[in-house]
A and B are shown apart, each in its own frame.
Chain A
Amino acid sequence: MKLGFLVDLHLCMGCKGCEVACKVENEVPLSSWRLRVKYLDRGVFPDTSRSFTPLRCNHCENAPCERICPVSALHYLDNGIVNIDNERCIGCAGCMMACPYGAIYMDPETNTADKCTYCAHRVEGGLLPACVVACPVEANIFGDIEDDTSHISQYIMAHKGNVQVRKPEKHTNPKHYYVGGGTSSLDPLAHERIEGYGLFNNITHLKTNGDPHHGIIDRFLAPFKSHEKDNKSFMQSDKTEKGGH
């Protein structure tokens, strides 16, 4: 069994339901994401179009994150999921340097690396990943890509020639496919990106972006302090800085 994902970008309407469902299901802290939906505007006014691309871990068959992890915190499951054991993670961030898709974040609450696990905990119990359940247009398809009769395999067969993965040149063999993507959707260097610019609002840049999830001393003291379980520290206005246009 090899579990895989497919997103049909023709169907995705950018509602971010999957993004929110993932946040809730996995208690992903602010400033971090396991899944995000990126908006891209193409062309020049008035002749423009907007596309939406959900981005998550690809659960690569040849995963550089697994290879570089010094303590096997990142490891393969038999069903093909690249899982993470954050009890073992030492927080070296090697995986963040290795993942070509930027799919890993350093959890500011646990001080360990984390990422999409294809909801391994739900899959184990026979449930679908939270993001799949939340998608109102069934743009996210999840299943066994080694089973030719599965919905995902059938979908890939039906759209062959129009199925892509991100950065195939990295030889990671992603098990996450896109239908209806183009270079500008899937290649981060193929579009312009202006930091601080957001569609609906000014982007609030948290100071916690970048490395200082904790100061160095805090990392040593963390085990002796009570664990902060909510996102309050990120919501205090003095910890945020306004940016954008």
Chain B
Amino acid sequence: MQETINATQSLVTLDVALPGIIWGGIITINMWAKSIGTGVIIVGAYLLFRHKKEQMPNYRWLIPLIAFIALNVFLLFTLIDLHQPYRMINIFLHPHFTSAITVGAWIASLFTLLVSVMLIIGLASGFPDVLRHNGVAKKLRGSESLYDKLSPIVLFLAFPVTLYTAIIMAESSARELWQAPTELTQMFLAALIAGAATLLLFSAKWSDAVKKDITLVLIFAVTFSFLIYMGEYFFSFKSSEAEATLAYIHLGGTYSIQFWVAMILGYILPFFLGILSIKENTKSVAKVAAVSALIGLYLAKDVWLKIPQLLPLS
């Protein structure tokens, strides 16, 4: 930081203006929607491991449907953030595989494709009366085994799809805050938070035991994610750049209020509301926790994305 004694004081007196925030709200929505899309797959798989599928009657189409919508929002926002959107195709025609952007785009596209196939099969089987005599629909209804074969592949892909953004951030050598190893864990926990919160909102038909389990995942994820944020905020060893970046969320910093609102809405409130909902068995409280977590997660991601871009780089 700048020197504070007269003898070494130095001040920029003529320079160009700073470029400002380049990756803004569009990228925040991109990350947030991706967390939902991959999170419902990961949390859904965990629920299937723990509970009988009869306890989650619409599971086979609900999970791919939420994932499909969220992934398409994610892909749309990836596209509209490009300054040359029509050239997106170059990622496939001229791929550069040292770039996590390329690898991520390839895996995410494959992932979305497989989720779409699962969604079509899931919907055809979930609503047998729709297009009852249609040949294609009949064939799809008979493709349950394909659905089952795709499920583990999609689950496997959900991990790199959710984590590759952390690798993009690690490759962003100009933003040291994003290069912290904790970013990978935070990205995974964000998927758990987003997945659990979204499922809490759409699992009306699922058994209480399942809902309780989802709430526990939410509580677990917000707790660990919050602890990591606090560790980075207060304690961890940081480079001087990361330290200077965090000044924007320290008291009086430009993003201090948004950061603490995010911590309260996304992490502290869902933790207590989640516990309350389990203790009192009140589903509406769990839903409030879910909405709060989704809003807080968005705000936290937004702050973390923007603050390193405020620093002068040269």
Contacts and interface: CB of A to CB of B under 8 A. Distances in A.
B20 A209 contact: yes
Contacts of B11: 40-42, 191-194
Contacts of A166: 314
Interface string B261-272: 000000000000
A190 B2 contact: yes
B246 to A, nearest CB: 13
Contacts of A190: 1-3, 10
B94 interface: yes
Contact of B15 (A42, A64, A193, A216): A193
Interface stretch (A93-101, A123-131, A156-164): A93-101
Interface stretch (A4-12, A66-74, A142-150, A230-238): A66-74
Nearest to B105: A70
Given A55-B314, A64-B173, A92-B81, A39 B15 contact: yes
Contacts of B10: 40-42, 184, 190-192
B27 to A, nearest CB: 9
Contacts of A198: 13-14
Contacts of B2: 189-192
Kindly state the interface size class of chain A when it binds its partner: 35 or more
B19 A210 contact: yes
Given A39-B13, A111-B84, A166-B314, A209 B19 contact: yes
Given A98-B172, A190-B3, A71 B13 contact: no
B86 interface: yes
Kindly state the interface size class of chain B when it binds its partner: 35 or more
A122 interface: no
A38 interface: yes
B117 to A, nearest CB: 26
A6 to B, nearest CB: 17
Contacts of A220: 85-86
B16 A70 contact: no
Contacts of A31: 17
A191 B1 CA distance: 7
16 contacts: A38-B12, A38-B14, A39-B15, A64-B171, A68-B168, A91-B83, A96-B19, A97-B309, A98-B173, A100-B313, A172-B173, A188-B314, A189-B241, A192-B12, A209-B17, A216-B80
Given A36-B16, A191-B3, A211-B20, 16 more contacts: A39-B13, A40-B13, A71-B87, A90-B85, A96-B22, A97-B175, A100-B174, A170-B173, A189-B241, A189-B311, A190-B1, A192-B11, A198-B13, A210-B22, A214-B83, A219-B82
Interface of B: 1-3, 6-24, 26, 80-88, 90-91, 94-96, 98-102, 105, 168, 171-175, 240-241, 244, 309, 311-314
Q: Shortest 10 CB-CB distances between A and B: which pairs?
A: A91-B83, A210-B20, A102-B313, A39-B14, A97-B172, A64-B173, A70-B101, A191-B10, A192-B2, A111-B83
Interface of A: 31, 33, 36, 38-44, 50, 55, 64, 67-72, 88-94, 96-103, 105-106, 111-112, 166, 170, 172, 184, 188-195, 197-200, 203, 205-206, 209-211, 213-214, 216, 219-220, 223
